[in-house]
Amino acid sequence: GWEVTTILPDQNGDISAESVLAAVRPDTALVSVMMVNNELGSIYPIADIAKGLKAVNEKTLLHTDAVQGFLKVPFSAKALGADFIAISGHKVGAPKGIGALYIGPRVRNPRPLLPGGGQEMGLRSGTEATAQIAGFAKAVELRWDHLEDKLHHMAEVKAYAVEKLTAIPDLQIIGSGKAPHVLSVSMAGWPSQNVVNDLGSQGICVSAGSACHHGKSSQVVSALGLPKRVAAGVIRLSFGPETTFAEIDACAEALRNHHDHRMPML
């Protein structure tokens, strides 16, 4: 029964606060914008959107999926200004299946998806996954230690990857993502799944998009309006604190060999 308005990104995958705020109406209940795009590494202006909403419609709540931003693009809940901030453990080394939702002070008496569980103040049914929660907390503690150094290293690795990969014929960077841990590229004419399989056989793990769209064409890539040959060749590289420059060299060599020794199919 709700009417949903969708904001499209520009050709670089960016979304401006102005375009989001322009779509807000007097009856808009919620705005939801991810913090960091998981395929392009684009960082979206959540704090600016939060500030603008106060002037446009102070009753409108703001939700952000910060799964790819948590401990990758530093923020504080107070400075960000969002009413809901969702994070997940598996992106920072915690067990899969555990996450957290920050609920700001403007939200009173939130209704749970699954009612029940008086022992959980009525917010969830069932017993808490204690081991996963503890694992999440420990992973955050470990990642937080010398976090600034880790983010600097990831940014350097990404910059090195851009330098190495753009020297490969037909390869181009997709989007203008500034996050230090995600890089999207394409080799026009070489289908992404073929590239993923070829590199995977050499022990190099890249992806043809996000797990959320496995088996389907990426909505993110489609929204960019890229030429068909380019869009079909998009792959995503991800970096972590443990990623080395030697691994980037190996990936670049594998991509160059794929280009030089495989026939394009598009």
| Integer Rg of the chain from CA | 20
212 annotated active-site: yes
Residue 126 and residue 116: Cα distance in Å, rounded? 8
Structure tokens at 72: 């990758």
CA distances from 134 to 24, 97, 128, 216 (A): 39, 12, 11, 35
Of 39, 66, 43, 36, which Cα lies nearest the Cα of 209? 39
Collapsed DSSP state (helix, strand, coil) of residue 14:
coil
> Quick one: DSSP state of residue 100?
E
Long-range contacts of 19-23 (CB under 8 A, 24+ apart): 20/49, 20/52, 21/49, 21/52, 21/53, 21/56
Query: Per the residue annotation, which of 30, 77, 212, 265 is the catalytic one?
Result: 212
Catalytic residues: 212
